[in-house]
Every structure is written in C-alpha cells, then in structure tokens.
Structure 1
Amino acid sequence: MSGIQAMQRRESADPAAERRQAQAAVPQADGQSASASQPATPPPFVPMHPARAGAYMLASLLLALSQGLGMNLITANIPQIQGAIGATTNEATWMVAAYMAPNVSLSLALIKIRTQYGLRNFAELSILGFVVACLLNLFISDLPSAIVVRFMSGIAAAPMSTLGFLYMLEPFPPHLKMRIGLPLALTNISIGAPVARLISPALFDIEGWHGLTVLELALAMLAFCLVYLLPLTPPPRAKVIERLDVASYLLIATGFGATAIVLVLGRLYWWFEAPWLGELLALAVVTVTIAAVIELNRANPLIDVRWLTSPAVLHFTGALLIFRIVLSEQTTGASGFFQVLGLSNDQTTTLYWIILAATIAGGLACTAVMKPGREPLIHMVALALLAVGAFMDSQATNLTRPSQMFLSQAMIAFAGALFLPPAVASGLMSALKKGPNYILSFVILFLTTQSMGGLLGSAVFGSFITLREKFHSNHLVEHLALTDPLVAQRVAQLGNAYGRTITDKTLLSAEGIAALGQQATREANVLAYNDAFLMIALIAVAALAALLLHLAYDTIRNRTAVSPAASQT
C-alpha cells in the first residue's frame, strides 16, 4: 500500500489550482491528449440539462454492464454451460481463457487508435463490433465454435470499459470528474459480477445457455442506440501511431495473452503437469522482453518502461495487485465455497443482492469522502473492512449457508468499491505531473493490474485451496480405519440409506465407504477454504500495517526536514 502514498507529492492545496489541474487532467486521463509536441487546449465545459446528463450516466451503466456481463456470465455458469456444449469443466474453461487472451492487452492499442482516428469513430465502430460479437454468440453449438466466438467477444468487449468511463465523466464539470465521475464509473464496472449471478438462474430457466447471450445482445443493442444518440466531446486528433508501435503491441499482446491463458487454466491442468503451460510462459517472457528492449531504444516509445520500473510505480503496481488478490476472496472464494457445499446460483440470490447493494453504497460513499489527501485514511478503512470480513468467513463450517455470510461479504464489497477510486485518482495525478506522454503508460499499468491481477488472484486463491484440500484430505483419511468402532458404525449408517434397493451387505458396505469418503472430501474442502479466507485476512492486515508504517515514516521525515529550517529562522 505504501506505493500509493509514494506517488502522491501534492503541489498546492489551493482549490483553484486543484480545479485547474483536474480540468487539464480529464481529457488526458481519457487517453485523448495529443502528443507533447502538439499541445491542444481542451474545449470549455458546457453544463448539461439534468435529463441529458442522466442519459449519459445511463449509457455508462449499460456499457459497463454489457462488458461486465459478457465476462462474468460464462465464469459464473461453467457447470451449466459445459452440459449444453458437451464439454468437461476444463474444456469449458477454455472459453474464459479465449475471452481474456486478447482482452488483457487491447486497451494498449485502443488508446492511440482513438487519439488518431477520433473518439466518435472509435465509439461507433466499437459498439457496432460488440453487437456483432454478441449476435455470433447465438450460433454457438459446440466447444470449438464457443472458443472462436468468445475470442472475438474478448476483442469486441475491450473498448466497452473505456467507453463506460468516458460516458460517466462527460456530464460532470472538470473539478468533479475525478471526485464523483471516477468512483461512479468504477462502481459500474464492479457490479457486473454480482449481477451476473443474480440473473443467471432466471435466464437459464427461460432459454438455457442461449438465454445468457440474448440478454447480452439486448444490452448491447440498447448501448448501441445511446452511443449514436449521445456523442462525446470530440478531443483534438493527433497522429500518434508509428510503425514500431505495431510491432511492440503485437509482441506485448502475445505475451499478455499467453500469460492470461496460463493463469486461467494453470490450476485446472496443474502448473507442473502440463508442459504446454511452461511453453506458454516461456513465450510470454521472450515476447515481452523483446518488446521492452524495443521500447527502451525508441525516442517516442509506446510505453515508458523506465517509468514503469521506477520504485514508486512498482510500489503502486504492487498495491493494486495485492488489492486484486484480496478481492478474490469474494469473486472466487465465496462462490467456490458454496459450490463445494452443493449450492447453486439460485440459492445464493439474496447474498448477491446484498453484495450488489454494498458495492453501490461503497461507490457512493467514496464520492462523498474522496478528496486530495484523504487517500491513506480511505485505504485504511477499506483494508480494515477486508481483513475483518475475510476473518469472519474463515470460521465457516459445512453447515454455513449464505445467510451467515451476509455481513462479511457486504463489508468486503463495500471495501472493494471504496479502495480503488482514490488509488486510481492519485496515480493518475502523479502521472500527469510527469507530463501527458505518461498518461498512456499509466492507463496501461492500471488496466493490466486489473485484468491480469484479477486472473492472478483467482489462480493464487484456487491453487492454495487445492493444496490445502489435499493436505486436509490426507490428514482426515489417515484416521479413518474400519477397525475403529466409530468409523465402522458411521459406514453402516451411511450404507443403510441404500438398504431398500441393495440387499448385498458387501455392496452396502462399499456404498457406505464411498459416502464417508465424500463427506471427508467435503470437510477437507471446507477446511481449505477457511485457510484461504484466513490467508486473505492476513494479507489485508499486513498491507494495513505497511500503510501505517509508511505514514509514520513520512511524518517523521517531514518533521525532521522542517526542524532545521525552523531553528535557523
């Protein structure tokens, strides 16, 4: 967490100066600024009619939901989808990998594309491509076609989050874009996961697998209409794309795509058992290294590698990655825990309504309290809530049901919506102080930590659960012997459940042993999830301690620096 504060070097507390700085920041933060050699004055802000401003905010919500549902509907319904396309769990998960492979890197290219060819053209073509990709989902009938279409959907969905940001920022005056517009835009993006689990049961009841794609297409069509009816303020164009940009992007896209596939599928095929996982990682290292070498020797690099590898930026990156790993407690942990207990999405509906409400409340609370200088306090509150919520979940048993996690999951959702906007705003302002050419590097940094960080969090969390489940399973099974009277009695009780259909005592005993093994596996999984929840709580506590130490260090250093000057005066 100390990296966020390390990047915050405030220049002035003058409100007028802050407003001028925010006004200069917004067009560049959207990735629309011209190059440093071609400065352009941003157009003056014209206040909107409230109804028109509400339409822009509705467009932002629809764009964010379209992108979020496209990514989360598949992840939330893998068990149901695999039956519809005749695939195993591992094979169906390739759909997620195919979606994420192009999605994690496309924002890098899209920022320069819309700067050179115009925001209006970018918005219209992007939403049209997304509608076409949603339409193709209706023709999925088997696994190969599903993988191809999901790959195309990942490409088409990449601009949606950017457009969601721009439409939310558009109606706000410059001095409120970072304070109100940014938290609301990030909240819109965050609600995709709980909404996907809320609507999935009803959609499957209506039309099965294609019910999901029909809703995705409907949202895309609504967003399509709003994008054409509500134009964004056109920033000045600039010719920013160079030939080497194409080569660098292709190398980075290959490396990021290979890494995304490994992170999605590594824990299913297991990291050390599938040779192709190592080959993909080697390919990622080689391609990203070549791209870094090219960028380091360019006069106008696509990304500033030296700035990205500076200590302050590395700390900032680490803070965002830790945040994504901690949030995997909710995105991966809670849903996986109830799946192990045999609960489906329709049995956890109330829980996800609460998560959705807490996420919205956290975003609104952030708009009320976020001001320059308050970032450390906001992050301390968020980390404390994350730690307490994860610790409460670590006390779960096989009798735990969603109602026992209402409070803890609400705390985690609230903290997640509260943490990210101040971090993004502070990092963005620090990049602006370095110059407009650093905006692209910062946007790349942020989007990479969110997409790749989310995949990394799920991979770490899932792998940790697998290892701990094997440990607890071995520990439990080694104490189960039929020579133990209690074990023999339990086997007999479980076998008697089949007594009306099976008369052979040997078969009854076998059924009892199998049932006891299933119970042992379930208990091992519950213990493994408890260990994972506790690990997340400890990570949050460690991050909170690091933040407090960093604040204490800064306070002591500032007092030490002021004392000699005061004594001389």
Structure 2
Amino acid sequence: MAVLLKPTPNWEEHEKPTLPGSASMPYHTPAVRLAYACVALLVGITGGLGNALVTANLATIQGQLGLTPSEGAWLPAAYVMVNITVNMLVFKFRQQYGLRLFAEIGLGLYAAVTLLHLLVGGFAMAVLVRAASGFAAGTATTLSMLYMLQAAPRAYTGKMVVIGVGIPQLATPLAWLLSPTLLVFGQWHNLYLFEAGLALCSLAAVVVLKLPPGMHVKVFEKKDFISFALMAPGAAMLVAVLAQGYSHWWFDEAWLAWLLIGAVVFILAALFVEHHRENPLLQTRWLVTPNILRFIVGAFLIRFLTSEQTFGAVGLLRTLGMGPDQMQPLFVVILAGTIVGMLASALTFSPRTLIAQLIAAIVLFGVAAMIDYGRTSLDRPEDFFLSQFLVALGSGMFMGPLVFLGISQALKYGPNYVVTFTVVLSLTQSLGAMTGSALLSTYQLHREQVYSSALTADINPADPQVALRLQQQQGVYRALITDPVQRAAQGTALLSQIARREANVRAFNDVFALSGMLALAFLSWSLFVAIRASVRNRRAAAAAVATATASPNPAPPGATKA
C-alpha cells in the first residue's frame, strides 16, 4: 500500500486527483481557467521550441560556431538522449515530490545553462544547452497537459488532454516562422537569448500560478536508480548511432558498431534487472503482451511517417535552394494544419473515435505522400501547401488518441504501469522521428547516387542536344572567363550540378513513394487489427447471449414437479 508523505486535503469527490502525482481538480473562475490555459500553452511550446530553433537553423549555427556536420548532429542528439531517459523518472518524481519542483529545477537549469552559453560559447556548451533543454522538456509536455486540465471542468478532461499533449507539436512550425526575424538582427546569440527568455517566462509562470495540490506518496526505490543507470547510457548510445550513422556512413566507422553493441548490452541488462524486481520501474511482462507490442509498433510507425514532412518536403526545398525566408508561408500553412488537427481531434474525442482518428491520420499521411510524388525542380513552397497541410492535420490529430489508447491499457493494471507507458511513448516518438530521418536520408542518398550515375552516363558531348546545352552553360561565363578551355570546363561542371540536382529531385520522389507505400501497408494492417477485434467482440457478445438464453430458468420457490 502506498505511503502518504503529506496529509491530503478534504477533497470533494469531483476534486480528487486521478492518480498520485496528478493535480486535484477544484473549481476555478473563468479568468483563472484562462490563465491556466495560457500557462499550458507557454510551457508546452517552451519544451520543444528551443530544440526546434536549433534544428531549423542547424546549418547556420554550424557555420557561425565553426562546427563540422558531424559535430552539428550532436546538438539535436543531445536533446533526445536526455529527454527519452529523464522520462523514466518524471512520473515517479511527481508522485513523490510533485511535478512543480521538478519543473522549477529543469526550467531553472535550462535558463541558466542557456545564458551561460551566451557568455562562453563553443561546441561543448552548445551540447550542454541541448541536454539541459531535453531535461526541461521532459516535464514540459506533462506540465502542459496538467495545466490544460485546469482550464475546463472535469467533464472535458479527455478533450483537454488532447489539446495539452498536442501543444508541443506547435514548436516546429513556430521555430521556422520565428527564425528569420531572430537571425536578421544578429547571429546565433539571438536564438539562444530567445530560448533563455522563454525558459525564464515559463519558470515565472509555473511559480506564480501553481497547480492545485495532489497526493504525494513514497514510490522511489534504490533499484530504480540502478535500472536508470543502465537504461540511460543504452538509450543514449542508440540515439548516437542514429544521429551519426548518416554523417560517418553506417558501415565505415567501427565505433558506430561498438556503440550499437553497447546500447544492446545496457538496455538488455536494464530489462533483466527490471524483469526480476518485485516492484519494477518497467513492467517487462506487460511489454511483451500482444496489445502492447501492437501499440509499440503502431506508435513508432505513425511517428516515422511524419518524417515525410520534416525530411521529405523540407529536405527537397532545401536542396532546391529554399531557405527559412522562402519557406515561411509554407510553415504558416503547417501551423494552421496542426492547430486544426488538434482541435478536430479534441472536438470529436470519445472512446469510440480513438481508432478512427488514428486511421484518419494514417490516410492523411498516405494521401500527402501521393500528392508529393512527381515533384520537379520547378516546384516551390506554395506547391506543397495542400500536401503539407494534410500531413500537419494528421500530426495534430494522432497524438491525443495515441496517448489515451496507451494510458487506458496501462490503467487496467494499475498506476505503476503508467511509468512503463510513459517510457514507451517517449521512446517510440523520439526514436521513430530519428529513425525516420536517418533511414529516409540514407535511402535518398542511395537513390540520388543511382540517378546521378544514370544521368551522367547519358551525357555525351557528341549528342547535338547535349552539345547545345553545354554551349548554353558556357555562355553564362562568357563575360567572366575569356579562356575558352576554362569556360568549357566551367560549363561542363555547371551541367553536372544541374544533373545532380535533378537526381536529388528524383530521389526525393522515391522517398515520397516509399512513405506512401509504408502508409498504405500500415493502414491495411491497422484495418485488419481493428476488424478482427470487432469480429471477436461481436462473437463474444453473441456467445454470451446464447449462453444466457440456453441456460434453464431456476424453478420458483415452492414449485413441485407435475
């Protein structure tokens, strides 16, 4: 039985917190509810905006800090490394000490390290800031949800959870919209100054407008930290492989293999310790049940499919020379799509619509990939408005139902299983996004090399069309280079660049085709699972009715045989 660490107030039945570590639900005036909603929006965006700003401007930050592409890849990787591991302890910490204390520690540390980076600079400090950002973001999503729950009466809990967990998804389009303005008046310092300001504003908001008190119970055990000490480096090594595999190429560096081996050893050791504990942090037996395995695969794949936007469309536009300034209108559309998807999911939320919303998101991803297939080098950001609106709509729609499906499965077995669900959700979403970017970029590079070889092989100077094109390319340099030999060499090099650009466009089309096929396969599997479950439920209900009908009615008291 849980040991209470603090006396609990005399709550009304409707005010009691759902779980230890959750806030109670007292009555608030409309003004206070609005304030809670604003804090939820601020904290939720703060958790992801810092890392999104770095990701959107990674090339600029690399150049201004003098980093190589490999060093630059460590910045978003450090965020993910800390974020996915700290979630192992967040739930238990808020059960025992309250989430507000953890948020104050995380946001305060985040702001302090970010401000220190403005003074010190350098690669090591940049990585440390991203790690602190991941630490703070570990509580930001949960805080956003808990604050949003206070913004409406308890009857709207489901809808508020959907909005609360969806708010952090607004960070990426906002980062692309804000980046040009932040960079126009300075270098990378403005990005980090804005990031530190957000962290300080969130810290002030959390301190001033406190969550209502909840129940604090003793849940930590010494073996929790043993498991954490094994799982954290294992997960970090796996993230490092995904982050650096493309830069160093997967099979060219032995240390990548050693990192992968280390990740497997540490994670298996953590799972072994958890499997033999009396009160495990991770419920290993539950993780291998069919329902949870399907949830893990589904959650991973649905996040993988969102890479069609973050890598596919954005990557193609970057290849065509589009920068944040040119892509601002596109991200206005993406922001609008995310908000519409989040609100549509909240307004139509009910236990019966969860599966339908997830299937609708998968369909939207597949349709967007089909629309994007067949892009050319003449396409510009406005040509992607429809497809990326659909991707954003699906992205804003799936997160809430996914959380509810997982947490409903966990609560069937007890509050201790919520920790396992939190870790599973964090791992599938973070690793799904990183795996999607890593595998799709690898596939795109492979297809680009295939197409480049084919296009280059077809360039024959004796061909009249090729000769005419070479003359046109040489004409570009006629006013700059007088030597005809050098002019011919420059014209040939320019034609090779054009051929490589076209090869990249074709390769991105293959990425869109792959995303569409994955979405179709995932949709077929999801429909099969849903239909099979529906058939089983109907058969079970029919069998129960048949059993009740066939059973003899008991004789009334005092009745005798004729």
Q: Give the TM-score taking structure 2 as reference length.
A: 0.91
Residue 3 of structure 1 corresponds to which residue in structure 2?
A: none
8 Å CA contact 1:197, 1:345 repeated in 2: yes
Report the CA distance shift for 1:558/1:163 in structure 2 as closer, same or farther (over 3 A): closer
8 Å CA contact 1:23, 1:175 repeated in 2: no
Following superposition of structure 1 onto structure 2, how do residues 61-210 of structure 1 map, counting pairs within 5 Å?
61-177=41-157, 179-210=158-189
Following superposition of structure 1 onto structure 2, how do residues 523-562 of structure 1 map, counting pairs within 5 Å?
523-562=502-541
- 1:408 counterpart = 2:387: yes
After superposing the two structures, state which structure 1 stretch, 51-60 or 311-320, moved more. Answer: 51-60
Q: Displacement, 1:375?
A: 1.7
- 1:265 counterpart = 2:244: yes
In the alignment, the residues of structure 2 paired with residue 312 and residue 567 of structure 1 have an alpha-carbon distance, to the nearest angstrom, of 28
Q: Displacement, 1:566?
A: 4.7
- The share of aligned pairs that are identical, in percent, is 36
- 1:312 counterpart = 2:301: no
Report the CA distance shift for 1:344/1:312 in structure 2 as closer, same or farther (over 3 A): same
Q: Displacement, 1:567?
A: 5.1
Residue 21 of structure 2 corresponds to which residue in structure 1?
A: 32
Q: Displacement, 1:565?
A: 4.9
Tell me the C-alpha RMSD between the 2 structures: 1.9
Report the CA distance shift for 1:356/1:502 in structure 2 as closer, same or farther (over 3 A): same
Following superposition of structure 1 onto structure 2, how do residues 446-461 of structure 1 map, counting pairs within 5 Å?
446-461=425-440
In the alignment, the residues of structure 2 paired with residue 410 and residue 137 of structure 1 have an alpha-carbon distance, to the nearest angstrom, of 36
Following superposition of structure 1 onto structure 2, how do residues 51-62 of structure 1 map, counting pairs within 5 Å?
51-62=31-42
Q: Displacement, 1:202?
A: 0.8
Match of 2:313 among 334, 338, 353: 334
Q: Runs of 5+ in structure 2 lacking a partner? A: 1-12, 550-562
Report the CA distance shift for 1:307/1:514 in structure 2 as closer, same or farther (over 3 A): same
State the AA in 2 paired with 1:345. Answer: P
Deviations 1:132-183 (A, max 9, x none): 1332231353323322333333334322222222212233333322x21111
Residue 478 of structure 2 corresponds to which residue in structure 1?
A: 499
After superposing the two structures, state which structure 1 stretch, 490-499 or 190-199, moved more. Answer: 490-499
In the alignment, the residues of structure 1 paired with residue 314 and residue 442 of structure 2 have an alpha-carbon distance, to the nearest angstrom, of 15
Q: Displacement, 1:63?
A: 1.1
Deviations 1:489-523 (A, max 9, x none): 21221111111111111111110111111111111
Following superposition of structure 1 onto structure 2, how do residues 392-541 of structure 1 map, counting pairs within 5 Å?
392-541=371-520
State the AA in 2 paired with 1:91. Answer: E
In the alignment, the residues of structure 1 paired with residue 465 and residue 189 of structure 2 have an alpha-carbon distance, to the nearest angstrom, of 50
Highest relative contact order (Cα 8 Å, sep 6+), 1 or 2? 1
8 Å CA contact 2:15, 2:26 repeated in 1: no
In the alignment, the residues of structure 1 paired with residue 433 and residue 184 of structure 2 have an alpha-carbon distance, to the nearest angstrom, of 30
Q: Displacement, 1:563?
A: 4.2
- 1:361 counterpart = 2:340: yes
In the alignment, the residues of structure 2 paired with residue 240 and residue 466 of structure 1 have an alpha-carbon distance, to the nearest angstrom, of 48
State the AA in 2 paired with 1:445. Answer: V
After superposing the two structures, state which structure 1 stretch, 395-404 or 463-472, moved more. Answer: 463-472
Following superposition of structure 1 onto structure 2, how do residues 202-221 of structure 1 map, counting pairs within 5 Å?
202-221=181-200
In the alignment, the residues of structure 2 paired with residue 464 and residue 191 of structure 1 have an alpha-carbon distance, to the nearest angstrom, of 28
In the alignment, the residues of structure 2 paired with residue 253 and residue 323 of structure 1 have an alpha-carbon distance, to the nearest angstrom, of 24
In the alignment, the residues of structure 1 paired with residue 444 and residue 161 of structure 2 have an alpha-carbon distance, to the nearest angstrom, of 35
8 Å CA contact 2:117, 2:125 repeated in 1: no
In the alignment, the residues of structure 2 paired with residue 540 and residue 225 of structure 1 have an alpha-carbon distance, to the nearest angstrom, of 43
Match of 1:292 among 255, 266, 271: 271
After superposing the two structures, state which structure 1 stretch, 554-563 or 195-204, moved more. Answer: 554-563
Q: Give the match's secondary structure for 2:306.
A: helix
State the AA in 1 paired with 2:183. Answer: F
8 Å CA contact 2:62, 2:68 repeated in 1: yes
8 Å CA contact 2:103, 2:136 repeated in 1: no
8 Å CA contact 1:116, 1:237 repeated in 2: yes
Report the CA distance shift for 1:122/1:182 in structure 2 as closer, same or farther (over 3 A): same
In the alignment, the residues of structure 1 paired with residue 494 and residue 289 of structure 2 have an alpha-carbon distance, to the nearest angstrom, of 56
Q: Displacement, 1:304?
A: 0.6
Q: Displacement, 1:256?
A: 0.6
State the AA in 1 paired with 2:472. Answer: Q
Q: Give the match's secondary structure for 1:191.
A: helix
In the alignment, the residues of structure 2 paired with residue 308 and residue 140 of structure 1 have an alpha-carbon distance, to the nearest angstrom, of 44
Deviations 1:96-144 (A, max 9, x none): 2222222221111222222222334223223222221332231353323
Q: Displacement, 1:475?
A: 1.7
Q: Give the match's secondary structure for 1:126.
A: helix
Runs of 4+ in 1 over 6 A off after TM superposition: none
8 Å CA contact 2:51, 2:133 repeated in 1: no
Q: Displacement, 1:547?
A: 2.1
Q: Displacement, 1:240?
A: 1.4
8 Å CA contact 1:317, 1:445 repeated in 2: yes
Residue 17 of structure 1 corresponds to which residue in structure 2?
A: none
User: Number of residue pairs matched?
Assistant: 536
Larger Rg: 2
Q: Displacement, 1:342?
A: 0.4
Following superposition of structure 1 onto structure 2, how do residues 335-354 of structure 1 map, counting pairs within 5 Å?
335-354=314-333
After superposing the two structures, state which structure 1 stretch, 517-526 or 461-470, moved more. Answer: 461-470
Q: Runs of 5+ in structure 1 lacking a partner? A: 1-19, 34-41
In the alignment, the residues of structure 1 paired with residue 538 and residue 294 of structure 2 have an alpha-carbon distance, to the nearest angstrom, of 24
After superposing the two structures, state which structure 1 stretch, 321-330 or 101-110, moved more. Answer: 101-110
